[in-house]
Structure formats: structure tokens, C-alpha cells
């Protein structure tokens, strides 16, 4: 009678194949997990950089200063009549004090962020600035675009009979558009 007490070579090889397939599946899952985690981190960095630049540009657009003569200067007005095309404000509009840059780019960490500012007439002709930023991570293919809009009513004080409404009077095609 033949009664072996060990495993045969075929059984050992079969067990090794099963264990190998299991380890290969676990390695595939782990590398996929690492790839997805890296992608999420790069996307988060791109979004944070885009938000940072958007807030920075919006703060420049919304800036209000007072000159040496006590006159208020609204940066919104300068951007409105300068971006993307320089226009001359009509009679009665606030004067343009400076011609700011309508677009640019910044690098935040490993993210390159470009921005643009454009004036338009808005729904009710109130004057609107649209700020758009696009962030692209240099270590991956993450590309993100964010935008924000501000109207002149978000910037200027409420009109009264003593201080008439200073909102830009848009052209038929918009403030900064020809």
C-alpha cells in the first residue's frame, strides 16, 4: 500500500501559482492606489494654486484707493475700460487712472497659473468684470479653470442724489470689448 505523507510536486506548483496570482493582483491594486493618490494630490495642488491666484487678482480688481487730493480711485473702473481692449470712457464716466495688465501668469509651487480679466456689459448694462484663471500642474496633466465675476454694484457705494451712480456706462458690446 502506497501512503505518501507529503505534497507532490504538482500540488506545490499549483499552490505557488495561486499565491503568485494573488500577489500580482494585490501589487496591481497597490500601484493603482498609489497612482490615484498622486493624481488627487496634484489636482489638489492645482486647485489650491488656482484659488490663490484668483483671490489675488480679485483683490486687485476690487481695490479702492484715495489719492493725495482725497479722490477715490476704483481699480474696477481701470480694468473695465482696459481689458481686454483699451477703450475711452464716455463723457460722465469715471476717468481711467491706470491701464492695468489684463492677463498674466504666476507660478505657485509646481503649478503654472494664467489669468485673464475681461469687461463686458452685463445683463442689465451694469458693467461686469470676468476673471478667469487656468492652473496646470507641471508634474502631471492636471488642468483646472476657475472663474469669478464682479459687477460695478459690488464695488461702488450705493448711489444717492449727492453721489450719482459711478458705474461705467458700457458700450453696446461691453466695457472692455470692441
pLDDT of residue 134: 97
pLDDT in tens, 115-147: 999 988 766 666 789 999 999 999 987 899 999
What predicted TM-score, i.e. pTM, was given to this entire model? 0.76
Looking at every residue in the chain, the average pLDDT score rounds to 84
DSSP characters over the chain: -----S--HHHHHHHHHHHHHHHHHHHHHHHHHHHHHHHHHHHHHHHHHHHHHHHHHHHHHT-EEE-TTS-EEEHHHHHHHHSSS--PPPTTSPPP-----SEEEEEETTEEEEEEEEEE--TTS--EEEEEEEEEETTS--EEEEEEEEEGGGTSPPP-SSS--------TT-SS--
pLDDT of residue 177: 45
Q: Which candidate, 114, 108, 117, places its Cα nearest to that of 60?
A: 117
Domain residue ranges of the chain, discontinuous segments joined by +:
9-154
Euclidean distance between CA atoms 116 and 134, whole angstroms? 9
**Ranges of the chain whose pLDDT falls below 70:** 1-4, 122-126, 157-178
Amino acid at each position: 500500500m502506497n501512503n505518501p505523507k507529503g505534497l507532490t510536486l504538482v500540488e506545490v506548483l499549483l499552490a505557488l501559482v495561486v499565491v503568485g496570482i494573488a500577489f500580482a493582483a494585490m501589487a496591481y491594486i497597490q500601484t493603482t492606489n498609489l497612482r490615484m493618490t498622486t493624481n488627487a494630490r496634484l489636482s489638489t495642488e492645482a486647485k489650491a494654486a488656482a484659488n490663490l491666484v484668483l483671490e489675488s487678482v480679485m483683490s486687485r480688481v476690487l481695490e479702492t484707493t484715495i489719492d493725495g487730493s482725497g479722490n477715490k480711485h476704483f481699480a474696477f473702473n481701470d480694468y473695465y475700460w482696459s481689458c481686454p481692449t483699451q477703450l475711452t470712457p464716455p463723457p460722465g464716466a469715471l476717468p481711467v487712472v491706470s491701464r492695468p495688465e489684463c492677463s498674466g501668469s504666476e507660478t505657485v509651487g509646481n503649478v503654472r497659473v494664467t489669468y485673464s480679466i475681461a469687461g463686458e456689459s452685463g445683463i442689465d448694462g451694469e458693467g461686469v468684470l470676468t476673471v478667469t484663471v487656468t492652473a496646470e500642474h507641471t508634474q502631471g496633466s492636471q488642468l483646472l479653470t476657475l472663474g469669478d465675476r464682479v459687477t460695478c454694484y459690488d464695488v461702488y457705494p450705493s448711489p444717492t442724489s449727492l453721489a450719482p451712480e459711478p458705474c461705467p456706462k458700457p458700450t453696446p458690446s461691453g466695457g472692455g470689448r470692441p
